Amino acid sequence: MQQRTIQNVVEVVGIGLHKAEPIKLRLEPLDEDAGIVFYREDLAISIPLTPAAVIETKMATVIGSQKGFISTIEHFLSAVYAYGIDNMRVVVNGNEMPIMDGSAISFCLLLEEAGIKEQESPKKILRIKEVVEVKEGDKFVRLSPSNQAMFDFKIRFDHPVIGEQSENFAFSTHGFIEEIARARTFGFASDIQYLQSQNLALGASLQNAIGLDEHKVLNPEGLRFDNEFARHKILDAMGDMMVSGYNILGAYASFAGSHKLNYELTTKLLSDSKNYELVAVESLESIAFAKSFA
């Protein structure tokens, strides 16, 4: 399996979640071994995708520096992960990614429109060699060695619509599109009112999130999956793992994980070389991982 970029430049415009301003997103191909590079066109600054670039994880994964930042990158990166893109320039003209419909499906369609281009150098991935775990009370995120990329997420909310939910996802590009990509982010009406009073979440609406009051889902169309909340948490986790810059061969598991814990997990993983090895996909004993991107 070779490294991948996109075939053509593509553009889309969407609303930013927090400022409610139109954000133009443009994707451009990059050469082999260039990685995923974000670019603030309005500030003329590049932000390479690495855990070291993460500056905030409270409400979303944010990368950048004092010179400028880009927020809410995780939904987009989950699609990048799913399509196995290694090298690409991600150009935006504001400080956040467009929220689209609150899921990753629009970004999947954008990558489909761009087309996938195979490059000459072998694709490399992070193979997990040791169990790496981060805990916070009863919450945890964990990566374990596995011959298959797996994502297992459990959540618990004191809300009649959510309660306890779980989803176990054996990664494949096709499976992501069918089972994960359409799962939307969600928020509680009481929280949105507070956030908007703080000049945040100004672009939040029932067109780009699942809204909940104390008893029910507010969206007239209802849920896309019975456990859409847990599926979206897997979507987030895939995007946050992509902050490492690579697809990961291992088993991810979490209870009530967050962007913060995911960031701490990737940082802990990469802090010790005994935890992982960077290997070419073609050198793996199992060819099933390469086939999962077909």
Active site residues: 259
Q: How far apart are CA 119 and CA 248, in angstroms?
A: 19
Q: Confirm if 32 and 220 have CB atoms less than 8 A apart.
A: no
**For residues 229 and 277, what is the distance between their CA atoms, to the nearest angstrom?**
32
Q: 75 in helix, strand or coil?
A: helix
* Residues 122/282, Cβ–Cβ less than 8 Å: yes
> Is the Cβ–Cβ distance between 263 and 61 less than 8 Å?
yes
Q: Within 10 A of 44 (CB to CB), how many other CB atoms are there?
A: 9
The DSSP annotation for 100-118 comes to TTSSSHHHHHHHHHH-EEE
Cα 178 from Cα 182, distance rounded (Å) = 8
CA dihedral 173, 249, 263, 89 (to 10 degrees): -50
Q: What separation in angstroms does the CA of 118 have from each of 5, 31, 49, 51, 69?
A: 7, 11, 21, 26, 30
Cα gap 45→186, rounded to integer Å: 31
Q: Could you give the CA distance from residue 122 to residue 116 in angstroms, rounded to a whole number?
A: 15
